[in-house]
Amino acid sequence: MGLDCGVHLPEVDIAFRTYGALNAEGSNAILVCHALTGDQYVAERHPITGREGWWTQVVGPGRPLDTDRFFVVCANVLGGCMGSTGPRSPRGETGEPWGTDFPPVTIRDMVRAQKRLVEHLGIRRLFAVIGGSMGGMQALEWAASYPDAVFASIPVATAAHHSAQNIAFHEVGRQAIFADPDWQGGRYWQTGRQPLRGLAVARMCAHITYVSEVALTRKFGRRLQSAPKDNREAIDLFGDMFEVESYLRHQGSSFVRRFDANSYLTITRAMDYFDLAADHGGDLAAAFRGSRTRFCIVSFTSDWLFPTEESRTIARALNRAAANVSFVEIPTDKGHDAFLLDEPDFHRTIAGFLAGCAVHAGLDSP
């Protein structure tokens, strides 16, 4: 597969999961695109963490992406670490992992790989593509790159490019990984010591940006708890620690069990470089001109990582391109992560939009 950077990958594995059944016409498929640290385990137990799928509230029988009606597909992104080709994959015949020699991938490369998967599954046109955050970037890129292969697109809590602040937060995470001597220039498999501390710090920093201040305050406020005695790192200069600190440490330490540091570098880079307007002569509307795809753009009021203004910019560009677009801002105080949480308004929005699209697409009722 040819990549945007010019490198040709002779073989590409794309790990995926499906839910529901593809109909005879192959017209009821919905592609779910995961976010930075997500994966293909959308609606089932995760093989490493043992936790529920990350979107069980959205995908399943009777859910907004109703698996009694739709064939739902989710693939681990190119560059990921849950089975798709990425920095951890063996390079050629040596069997050694790519590591940081893995070519840089773009959001478009990820979508290109998904397109091949979708064709392989016998789907000529997706009924819908949906995703939040980086998944939303992919939902936009799908519509821009393959307008005739996407009937409907639902980009959620996303943007047409990464902002300077978003890049800055990613860069702090990358520097935290580079600062960990166990990173070893990215060749950590040679010693078996992984840069777990650096990766955990990266995750902690990113995690703060996923949550609103109100949500953090509601959840933890300034409540104290005793610092664990057996944890040398939990140095407690005051004998106690704040609950929010303990929570962040847990976020960091549980994350590193399931994620690869080089994948984190590769994928954050892909997000940072995403700039759909720049790919179309600086005009975002040009990315969608003539498109017959139906769009539903969703943002959340308290999302400060991908603020509503970014979604509004997308909606305006789609309007300029005379595309078919709905734009919904969901009132919530949960922040960016709201797309992963129990947000009935959001779920009703998806279900309603898809119901309308199903009629227009001539899909049979369930």
Strands in the chain per DSSP E: 16-19, 29-33, 59-60, 65-66, 71-75, 126-132, 150-156, 224-226, 240-242, 294-300, 324-330
Q: How far apart are CA 266 and CA 261, in angstroms?
A: 9
Residue 242 binds its own copies (CB under 8 A): yes
Q: Pick the catalytic residue from 133, 153, 246, 311.
A: 133
Query: Which residue is catalytic, options 39, 66, 279, 303?
Result: 303
Of 68 and 231, CB closest to its own copies: 231
Work out the number of other CB atoms within 10 angstroms of the CB of residue 209: 19
CB of 72 closer than 8 Å to CB of 43: yes
Measured CA to CA in angstroms, residue 28 lies from 43, 128, 140, 153, 160 at distances of: 18, 8, 19, 14, 27
Q: Considering only the stretches 36-44, 69-77, 109-117, 193-201, report the one whose residues sit in contact with its own copies under the rule CB under 8 A.
A: 193-201
Q: Under the criterion CB under 8 A, does residue 189 sit at the interface with its own copies? A: no
In this structure, what token pair is assigned to residue 302? 């308290």
Q: Is 49 in the site for its own copies (CB under 8 A)?
A: no
Active-site residue, selected from the candidate residues 34, 161, 162, 336:
336
Contacts for 355 with CB less than 8 Å, ≥ 6 apart: none
Residue ranges in 262-301 that form contacts with its own copies under rule CB under 8 A:
265-266, 269, 272-273, 275, 278
Among 52, 96, 171, 364, binds its own copies (CB under 8 A): 171
Q: Are strands 324-330 and 71-75 parallel, antiparallel or unpaired?
A: unpaired
Shortest separation between residue 260's beta carbon and its own copies, angstroms: 14
Is 333 labeled as catalytic in the residue annotation? Answer: no
* Contact call for residue 137 and its own copies (CB under 8 A): no
Mark whether 133 is an active-site residue.
yes
| Interacting residue ranges for its own copies, rule: CB under 8 A | 5, 100, 104, 161-165, 167-169, 171-172, 175-176, 178-181, 185-186, 197-198, 200-201, 204-205, 208, 213, 216-217, 219-222, 232-233, 235, 237-238, 242, 244-245, 248-249, 252, 265-266, 269, 272-273, 275, 278, 304
Among all residues, which ones are annotated catalytic?
A: 133, 303, 336
